[in-house]
Chains A and B, each alone.
Chain A
Amino acid sequence: MKTSFSKWSWTALRMLLGGILLYSSLYKIHSPAAFAHQIYNFKLLPVWAINPVAITLPWLQFISGGALILGLGTQGASALILLMMLTFQSAVASALLRGLNISCGCFESGGNPATWLSFGRDFLILLLAAVVFLRERKRATL
């Protein structure tokens, strides 16, 4: 019984992470120009790289999130998600440390600025990604 319960909770965690990624990819897929603007605001990538990243990254989120939900290729998907979250958190931290006013420019109002509070919230997602990734790796070697 116990093993079956923990198996289900692992599945739930994996699907939760997949759901978050999938959900957050939707508006970026819908409005690639707004997402490109967001990337530009971080002032980290060379200008030639901004649009290709804005075009590809949302789909990477969508596909790896979907893979976690469906339970397909979960090792690769969780590794990609962990990598994306690490990159994203580093970018936000660097922007906050540089004192940039990161406003996405995705809505007329310019959206909400990134703060250490939003950084903390996203850190929880990073932790979730790390836990799921380690679990999937372990499962593969069993």
Chain B
Amino acid sequence: MSFIKEFFKFLIIRKKYWLIPILIFLLIFGGFLVVTQGTAVAPFIYTIF
């Protein structure tokens, strides 16, 4: 939780709001990739990229 707080504070100070959607996208799909590594879902995820 403290990470999210710190990161948003960082984005606000740097005024780099446009990075927020990219980051959310990356965290969701990145997290998904990490969780599904080596499972049957993995090939499906890889085709998205």
Whether A and B are associated in the same complex: the answer reads no
Identify the B interface with A (CB < 8 A).
none
